Homo-oligomer: A and B are copies of this chain.
Amino acid sequence: MPAPERTSTEAIVAAGRAILEESGPASLTMQAVATRVGVRAPSLYKRVRDRDALLTAVAEAAIDELGSRLADSDSDSASGTGTGNSGADLTKLAEVYRAFAHEHPESFRLMFTASAPVDALHRASEPVLRAAAALVGEADALDAARLFTAWATGFLQMELSGVFRLGGDVGRAFDYGLRRLLAGLTA
């Protein structure tokens, strides 16, 4: 006999994301997800291997959303697909990245914790690679993109965890870092 599906993988992942941002990773339990989706916990194992796989799926969904925003911001400023624009593209990407981290702090944390979905991260960071290539050329593009991404990610993680709370305006420190970093790339 058939038996209609009472939920879906997408609904489960969406529930996971919502719980994560509302109540933190410790509250993201199989039971909480099941309840929010209107099903019993054991049913989740029909769609998701285990809790770790669910966390990875949630991280991947967040990364994909970030990727869309980065791609959008990229197409905004890329009216002329020219070369070296003095870092305007990377500046825009940095702002979009920071806004996303502030908007979804728990998802941002999870993106680099958990068994990070490397493929998704590579997909999402493609606009950064393109902007870096425009600034420093193809030969150094990968290294430059890694410099930019590592700085932005480390900075935002520290900002969110409160390490930067003492002393000085954090926004000013972000701008300073970005300016110096771009100066170093174009030196």
Mark interface residues in A140-164 (1 if CB within 8 Å of B CB, else 0).
1011101101111111011001111
- Inter-chain CA distance A101–B19, complex, in Å, is 32
Q: A122-B163, A149-B158 are in contact. List 17 more A-B contacts (CB 8 A).
A: A116-B162, A122-B166, A142-B168, A143-B168, A143-B172, A143-B173, A143-B176, A146-B158, A146-B177, A151-B154, A152-B154, A180-B184, A180-B185, A182-B184, A183-B183, A184-B184, A184-B185
Interface positions of A (Cβ within 8 A of B): 112-113, 116, 118, 121-122, 140, 142-144, 146-147, 149-155, 157-158, 161-168, 172-173, 176-177, 180-185, 187
Give chain B residues whose Cβ lies under 8 Å from the Cβ of A151.
147, 150-151, 154, 181
* Complex CA–CA separation, A142 to B172 (angstroms): 11
Known A154-B151, A185-B180: A116·B168 in contact at CB below 8 Å: no
What would 5 A/B residue contacts be, using CB atoms closer than 8 Å? A118-B166, A140-B176, A143-B172, A150-B151, A150-B155
Contacts A173-B146, A180-B144, A185-B184; A158 near B153 (Cβ below 8 A): yes
Q: B177 to A183, Cβ gap below 8 A?
A: no
A181 — which chain B residues lie within 8 A by C-beta? 147, 151, 180-181, 184
